[in-house]
């Protein structure tokens, strides 16, 4: 029942925001709804804590150890994004002189996006999962092009077409999945229910499942931003509002990866582990390397961190490809820490960009000087993203490298190359932005908006120093689940 409550909390915001969601009131409502959602999610988590995984709505909805973790992250990031978005959008509204309609659109679409994310995580139906992903895409398209700049339009168009086509492929994969499932479960509504599929996954037709998984991989992989399907990602991140970039990196990529993981469990049952894990390792490593090298020449700060998202998603994908309870655990931890950290990065970057009035790394200087707190927030977030202790990413990378050296010793050099290059790409730019003397014409604004950064970074640090036992158990069970 709580599942429905969560979804309801998220969904009921949509029409209200669409109607009255402009100005300060809209921002307040936005925050309010997300607070409600978060509370509902916490309640849900407590229930899961008490009596484990369970389904609802006639098996249509499912919450288990895998999804609850990501749902929690969704709730937290959603709320902090809402908080950040308040000041941010007030500033943007003035700067771009957005009409009230546009602001309403923004809030409504944002809420839709968050709702669909939750739906994707909480549904038990692979078809609905697809529907939710598509919904999330559509709702973010208009957010990316919110400012109606040529750049924004172009980015949004690419995002729309590429992800649309990608998701079409994913749909084909889903259809094939259903096609395979039919053979065993017969024609019917629950032939797409993940729990049922998982129960019979060993009997699913291998050839069909192979093709189905490839289609889903290409489809959802486009949304994860796996190379070479990632071309939409930097553009969309760069052109949209920073709040949107934050959730794109922080939530959307995670959910896409989540979809693939669900599919992986099934295909593992049908064709054994190697098939999926080789694909995931290949894509992950490729993305890691390509993204790493792409960062060496970035001039645009938001693009820079968009690539870093690709890199981290690649790393997580790689981890799941390595497989085994340890690596899968590490992958999950990586997903969680990454979405918390990366969204913080985008919050601080967004504010810095507003203060300086440019996305060019060259023009952003001396943040510590013109806004110390912002500078610290940004620096810490970036150091965390780079996997410096006590970040949770340090732990996850530690575990990933460890298990890689155990499972695939000869891939570790590539892994380290990717990490090293990424470091060399991001760090000096961060230095230039944080240190030194700032240029004149900087409009410093209050740092209330980036309070969530500190909250989230504290959480990430906690993930690196002392993970609560329940969380550990959830993630371990989830790892077991993925490991099959």
Phi and psi based region of residue 371 (left: phi greater than 0; alpha: psi -120 to 50; beta: remaining): beta
Task: Find the shortest distance in angstroms from Cβ 473 to another protein.
Answer: 9
Residue 208 tokens read as: 């069909």
388 binds another protein (CB under 8 A): yes
- Given a contact cutoff of 8 angstroms between Cβ atoms, the answer to whether 157 and 113 are in contact is no
Task: Find the shortest distance in angstroms from Cβ 368 to another protein.
Answer: 8
C-alpha distances (whole Å) from 78 to each of 296, 351, 376 are: 31, 18, 23
Strand ranges inside 32-98, DSSP E: 54-56, 61-63
96 binds another protein (CB under 8 A): no
Residues 6+ apart with CB under 8 A from 56: 1, 3, 4, 62, 63
CB-facing half-sphere around the CA of 339: CA atoms within 13 A: 29
Map residue 300 onto helix, strand or coil.
strand
Task: Find the shortest distance in angstroms from Cβ 77 to another protein.
Answer: 21
Measured from the Cβ of residue 46, the count of other Cβ atoms closer than 10 Å reads 11
Supply φ then ψ for residue 366, to 5 degrees: 55, 40
Task: Find the shortest distance in angstroms from Cβ 242 to another protein.
Answer: 17
Task: Find the shortest distance in angstroms from Cβ 95 to another protein.
Answer: 19
Measured from the Cβ of residue 238, the count of other Cβ atoms closer than 10 Å reads 22
Which residue's structure tokens are 């994707």?
Answer: 120
Q: Of the two residues 471 and 481, which places its CB atom closer to another protein in the complex?
A: 471
403 binds another protein (CB under 8 A): yes
Task: Find the shortest distance in angstroms from Cβ 137 to another protein.
Answer: 9
Q: Of the two residues 79 and 146, which places its CB atom closer to another protein in the complex?
A: 146
What is the distance of C-alpha 153 from the center of its chain?
23
- Residue in 230, 227, 175, 180 with CA at minimum distance from that of residue 201: 180
Residue 250 tokens read as: 């922080």
Task: Using the rule CB under 8 A, give the single segment among 77-85, 202-210, 240-248, 438-446 that binds another protein.
Answer: 202-210
Task: Using the rule CB under 8 A, give the single segment among 15-23, 27-35, 173-181, 241-249 that binds another protein.
Answer: 173-181
435 binds another protein (CB under 8 A): yes
Q: Of the two residues 46 and 405, which places its CB atom closer to another protein in the complex?
A: 405
Binding mask 47-86 for another protein (x = CB under 8 A): -------------x--------------------------
Q: How far apart are the first and last CA of the chain?
A: 28
Task: Find the shortest distance in angstroms from Cβ 240 to another protein.
Answer: 12
Task: Using the rule CB under 8 A, give the single segment among 28-36, 82-90, 254-262, 426-434 that binds another protein.
Answer: 426-434
Task: Find the shortest distance in angstroms from Cβ 308 to another protein.
Answer: 14
Q: Of the two residues 90 and 200, which places its CB atom closer to another protein in the complex?
A: 200
Binding mask 239-278 for another protein (x = CB under 8 A): x-----------------------------------x---
Cα separation, 310 vs 304, whole angstroms: 10
440 binds another protein (CB under 8 A): no
Q: Which of residues 124-153 bind another protein (CB under 8 A)?
A: 125, 127-128, 130-131, 134-135, 138, 141-142, 145, 148, 150-151, 153
- Residue in 228, 73, 104 with CA at minimum distance from that of residue 162: 228
Task: Find the shortest distance in angstroms from Cβ 414 to another protein.
Answer: 12
421 binds another protein (CB under 8 A): yes
Task: Using the rule CB under 8 A, give the single segment among 4-12, 48-56, 78-86, 190-198 that binds another protein.
Answer: 190-198
Cα separation, 87 vs 91, whole angstroms: 6
Task: Using the rule CB under 8 A, give the single segment among 61-69, 338-346, 396-404, 448-456 that binds another protein.
Answer: 396-404
Q: Which of residues 452-471 bind another protein (CB under 8 A)?
A: 463-467, 469
414 binds another protein (CB under 8 A): no
What angle (nearest 5°) sits at the alpha carbon of residue 449, between those of residues 443 and 450?
A: 100
Q: Which of 214, 252, 256, 281 binds another protein (CB under 8 A)?
A: 214
- Given a contact cutoff of 8 angstroms between Cβ atoms, the answer to whether 65 and 478 are in contact is yes
229 binds another protein (CB under 8 A): yes
Residue 409 tokens read as: 């010793």
What angle (nearest 5°) sits at the alpha carbon of residue 362, between those of residues 360 and 364?
A: 75
Q: Which of residues 273-332 bind another protein (CB under 8 A)?
A: 275, 279, 290, 293-297, 326
Q: Which residues pair with 123 in a beta bridge?
A: 61
Q: Under rule CB under 8 A, how many of the chain's residues touch another protein?
A: 110
Residues 6+ apart with CB under 8 A from 457: 340, 341, 344, 377, 380, 381, 384
Q: Which of 406, 443, 446, 448 binds another protein (CB under 8 A)?
A: 406
């Amino acid at each position: 029942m709580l599942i429905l409550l969560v979804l309801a909390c998220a969904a009921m915001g949509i029409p209200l925001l669409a109607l009255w969601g402009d100005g300060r009131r809209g921002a307040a409502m936005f925050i309010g709804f997300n607070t409600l959602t978060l509370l509902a999610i916490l309640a849900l988590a407590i229930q899961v804590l008490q009596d484990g995984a369970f389904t609802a709505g006639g098996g249509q909805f499912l919450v288990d150890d895998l999804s609850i973790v990501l749902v929690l992250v969704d709730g937290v990031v959603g709320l902090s994004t809402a908080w950040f978005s308040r000041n941010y959008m007030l500033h943007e509204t003035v700067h771009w002189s957005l009409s009230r309609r546009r602001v309403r659109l923004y809030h409504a679409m944002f809420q839709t996006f968050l709702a669909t994310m939750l739906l994707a995580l909480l549904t038990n139906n692979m078809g609905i999962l697809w529907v939710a992903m598509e919904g999330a895409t559509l709702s973010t398209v208009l957010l990316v092009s919110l400012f109606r700049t040529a750049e924004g339009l172009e980015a949004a168009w690419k995002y729309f077409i590429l992800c649309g086509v990608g998701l079409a492929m994913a749909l084909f994969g889903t259809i094939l999945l259903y096609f395979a499932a039919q053979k065993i479960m017969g024609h019917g509504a629950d032939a797409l229910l993940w729990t049922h599929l998982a129960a019979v996954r060993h009997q699913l037709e291998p050839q069909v499942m192979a093709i189905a998984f490839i289609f889903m991989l290409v489809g959802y992989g486009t949304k994860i931003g796996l190379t070479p399907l990632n071309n939409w990602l930097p553009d969309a991140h760069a052109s949209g509002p920073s709040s949107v970039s934050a959730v794109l990196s922080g939530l959307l990529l995670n959910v896409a990866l989540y979809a693939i993981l669900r599919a992986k469990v099934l295909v593992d049952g049908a064709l054994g582990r190697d098939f999926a894990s080789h694909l995931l390792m290949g894509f992950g490593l490729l993305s890691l390397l390509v993204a790493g090298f792409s960062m060496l020449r970035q001039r645009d700060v938001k693009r820079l961190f968009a690539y870093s998202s690709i890199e981290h998603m690649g790393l997580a994908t790689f981890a799941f490809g390595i497989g085994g309870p340890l690596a899968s655990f590490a992958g999950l931890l990586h997903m969680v820490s990454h979405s918390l950290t990366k969204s913080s990065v985008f919050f601080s970057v967004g504010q810095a960009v507003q203060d300086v009035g440019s996305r060019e790394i060259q023009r952003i200087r001396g943040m510590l000087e013109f806004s110390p707190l912002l500078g610290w927030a940004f620096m810490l977030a970036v150091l965390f993203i780079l996997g410096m202790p006590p970040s949770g990413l340090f732990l996850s990378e530690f575990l990933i490298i460890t298990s890689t050296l155990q499972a695939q010793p000869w891939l570790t050099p590539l892994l380290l190359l990717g990490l090293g290059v990424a470091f060399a790409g991001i760090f000096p730019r961060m230095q230039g932005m944080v240190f030194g003397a700032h240029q004149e014409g900087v409009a410093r604004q209050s740092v209330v908006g980036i309070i969530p950064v500190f909250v989230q970074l504290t959480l990430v640090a906690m993930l690196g120093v002392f993970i609560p036992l329940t969380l550990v158990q959830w993630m371990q069970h989830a790892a077991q689940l993925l490991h099959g």
